[in-house]
Amino acid sequence: MAHLYISAAHRSSGKTTVSIGLCRAFRDRGLRVQPFKKGPDFIDPLWLGLAAGRPCCNLDFHTMGRGEISAAFAGESAGCDLGLIEGNVGLYDSTDLLGANSNAALAKQLGAPVVLVIDCHGMARGIAPLLLGYRAFDPDLHLGGVVLNKVASSRHAGNLIRALEHYTDLPVLGVLPRDESLTIAERHLGLMPSNESAQAEVWIERIHRRVADALDLDRLLALAEGAPPPQASAASRYPAAPPPSGAPVRIGIARDAAFGFYYPDDLRALAAGGAELVAFSPVDDPEPPAVDALFLGGGFPEYRMTELEANRTMREGIADLIARGAPVYAECGGLMYLCRGLRWGEERRAMVGALAAEVQMQVRPQGRGYVSLRETAAFPWPASAPGAAPREVQAHEFHHSAVVAPDPDWTYAYEVLRGVGIDGRRDGVVQGNLLASYAHLRDVGGLNWTGRFLAHVRRCLGA
């Protein structure tokens, strides 16, 4: 399968715009495009998936082994014509001195030619030494060409192209003028999620038209077709083996403008394990659906706090389910929604009230990035195997909110080894059959959280 890696010299260079536009442009040519995103992002994958017409898959060194990454790439790409991987941060940026978890490392592992998007604002002849340095830094990386973004004028574009043609042999695969109409609204954790905007398709089509006009799609496709086919070790399984079979269960999934952060492969794993997933809206529906359990994922409830408060019957229905012992799993935005109230500036809105605490939105991030956790003896879900010891969990958190004055009697499922969690030391409130945390789990790396949650649901039901 042909594939490309879209990266940049630094974040906010325009690689998401280019990636969204290319997904839709190649889809409109009749190609089956499979999007991928490096790292634990939720928001960019929502846009990429909508543009491509296929769910986006995350590839993440923190939670996945290298073999599993290759297996995921090969598995998700099966039957597709083009794989398009969007990087995160800069091409060579890495927490590892040798760049073991960088975009460059992932591109080399997948054999993907790299298209480097350059923010050209204020640049001229200096673009040449920048790109010469990027090429020389890792000669083993296949740097296939560049896209010049945020170009001020045709004269500016000509100066940049002349400098690159004189000093380098890197092809210019497109020139995108500076255009504020292509900018998707941003907020404190990145782009506004596509599930929140009725204008998402309008934005995608606008981006698509600009990108299709400005980039050489034929040359990009030829570059992608020169990539080696995806390879995966037979020892690496993807998707992960489904949990043990059991009685069918119905799980309500909060999905609307306030809640939408879910990994598609995790939802597939729940379904493969015997769960019927029932989508519902805490914003719009009058009450929770008739289900055996709830999964309240992340999102931006703070932007819908007025509507969430106004939906009193939904809040009371969820509080009643929790009080009656229904199994509930909540991550980040779900945790916020389950507390007594949500405060943003001087405004306070009532939430579900199942957890005895307030949540306050802060100006600065309270937790952002990878986390490492250790399960405590209070972790409520059954172990992956009989007699298995509490395990360390690799996950991630992204939140500007903080739990204010958490109940001193709370029991916690996790000890925080790296990250912030609820109080800097602990995460994962356990209250009856409820588990609510800031950490976002993903069912990779042998974690099998979906299988353990389903076992918890069935145990609660006596099934």
CA distances in angstroms from 462 to 243, 253, 295, 458, listed in the order given = 18, 22, 19, 6
DSSP-assigned letter for residue 24: H
| CB-neighbour burial class of residue 101 (10 A; exposed 0-12, middle 13-18, buried 19+) | middle
Please answer whether residues 294 and 324 qualify as being in contact, where contact means their C-beta atoms are separated by less than 8 angstroms: no
In one letter, which amino acid is 223?
A: L
Tokens of 265: 């492969």
Catalytic residue among 57, 80, 332, 339: 332
DSSP 236-262: S-SSPPPPPP---EEEEEE-SSSEEE-
Please answer whether residues 17 and 44 qualify as being in contact, where contact means their C-beta atoms are separated by less than 8 angstroms: no
Within 10 Å of residue 377's Cβ, how many Cβ atoms? 7
Give CB contacts under 8 A, 24+ apart, made by 196-199: 196/257, 196/260, 196/300, 196/303
CB burial of 54-66 (b: ≥16 within 10 Å; e: otherwise) equals bbbbbbbbbbbee
Q: What is the largest CA-CA distance in the chain?
A: 73
CA-CA distance, 254 to 309, in Å (whole number)?
A: 16
Task: Answer yes or no: 57 catalytic.
Answer: no
Tokens of 93: 């940026």
Please answer whether residues 5 and 36 qualify as being in contact, where contact means their C-beta atoms are separated by less than 8 angstroms: no
| CB-neighbour burial class of residue 325 (10 A; exposed 0-12, middle 13-18, buried 19+) | exposed
Coil vs helix vs strand at 68: helix
Q: Which residues pair with 149 in a beta bridge?
A: 119
Within 10 Å of residue 407's Cβ, how many Cβ atoms? 12
| 314 φ/ψ sector (left φ>0, alpha ψ -120 to 50, else beta) | alpha
User: Which residue, among 304, 182, 301, 275, has the nearest Cα to 461 in the 3D structure?
Assistant: 275
DSSP-assigned letter for residue 371: E
Active site residues: 332
